[in-house]
Amino acid sequence: MDPLIPLILSYGCPHLVSGLGPASTAFELTRFFERKEIPRMVVLAGIAGAYIGTDIDLEDVCLATSESYGDLGRQGLSGIEPICLEGEKLKIDFVLRPGWHKFITSGIVERLGIRCGPMVTVSCSTGEARRALELRNRFRALVENMEGAAAAQVCDYYQVPLLEFRGVSNWIGELDREKWRIDQALRATARVVDQVLDLLVNRNK
C-alpha cells in the first residue's frame, strides 16, 4: 500500500489521487479547487526518475524549484522546440521556489536532507539516453515525472504555492523495473512529507 495516503489522512488534510499524467492531474486538481475552498498551499508527493549525471542518488527526496513541460512543443532538428502562438511562446515553465519558500526555509530543507532543483514533466516517460540528455541539459533538471507541471500550471492560475516532493525510484532510461526502488522511494518521500506536514500543522495551531 502507498504509505503516503494513510499519512495524509492522519493529518486530516483534504487530499486527492490525481491519476497518471498531466491531463488527469490538471482535470482532477482544477475540479478539486472548484468544489472546495481554495487551499493555502498544495503538497504533491510521488516518485520520479533521476537523470544520470546529476548529483542525485536513488531514494533521495527532491523538492521542485521549478516545473516544465518537457515534451510539449514541436519536434525539430535540434530536439523538441517551443511552439509560438500569435508570436508568443507557449508557457511551459513554472517557478515554484518563491511560493514554497514562505513555508519551507532553506534551514528546514537542509535539516531534512531534501534535494532541491528543477523538475521536468513528460507524458511519455523517457526510455533512451539521447532524449534523457536533451531534457536534462535543456531544463537543467534533476528528475523527471508525469504530473508536476500540470499541477504547477493549475496552482499558478489560482495563485496557490505548490510543494512538490519526489522520491527517486530509478535512473532515467533504466527499463528493467526489477532494478527500480519504488517502495523505498515512496517510504522515503512519506518520511519527508510527514516531517514537513508536522512543521506546517504545528505552526498554524
Q: For 163-205, how does the pLDDT look when each residue is reduced to its tens digit (9 = 90+)?
A: 999 999 999 999 999 999 999 999 999 999 999 998 887 765 5
The confidence score (pLDDT) of residue 1 equals 53
Kindly state whether residue 22 falls inside one of the protein's structural domains.
no
Kindly state whether residue 56 falls inside one of the protein's structural domains.
yes
Tell me how far CA of residue 67 lies from CA of 116, 144, 179, 184, 204, in angstroms: 12, 10, 26, 24, 28
| Mean pLDDT of the 132-152 span | 96
Domain CATH number, residue 189: 3.40.50.1580
pLDDT at residue 148 is higher than 80: yes
Kindly state whether residue 17 falls inside one of the protein's structural domains.
no
Domain extent for 63? 4-10+41-203
How, if at all, do strands 61-69 and 115-121 pair?
parallel
Kindly state whether residue 104 falls inside one of the protein's structural domains.
yes
The confidence score (pLDDT) of residue 27 equals 96
Classify the phi-psi angles of 50: left when phi > 0, otherwise alpha if psi is within -120 to 50, otherwise beta: beta
Between residues 8 and 105, which one has the greater pLDDT? 105
Kindly state whether residue 34 falls inside one of the protein's structural domains.
no
If you average pLDDT over every residue of the chain, what do you get? 90
Kindly state whether residue 64 falls inside one of the protein's structural domains.
yes
The model's pTM is 0.91
Q: Residue 78: how many CA atoms within 13 Å on its side-chain side? A: 4
Kindly state whether residue 20 falls inside one of the protein's structural domains.
no
Instruction: Count helices and strands (H / E) in the chain.
Output: 7, 10
Q: How many distinct structural domains can be found in the chain?
A: 1
The confidence score (pLDDT) of residue 203 equals 65
pLDDT at residue 140 is higher than 60: yes
The confidence score (pLDDT) of residue 204 equals 56
Q: Give residue 14's pLDDT band: very low, low, confident or very high (50, 70, 90).
A: confident
In tens, the pLDDT along 84-111 reads: 777 777 789 999 999 999 888 889 999 9
- Count of beta carbons in the 10 Å neighbourhood of residue 187: 15
Kindly state whether residue 30 falls inside one of the protein's structural domains.
no
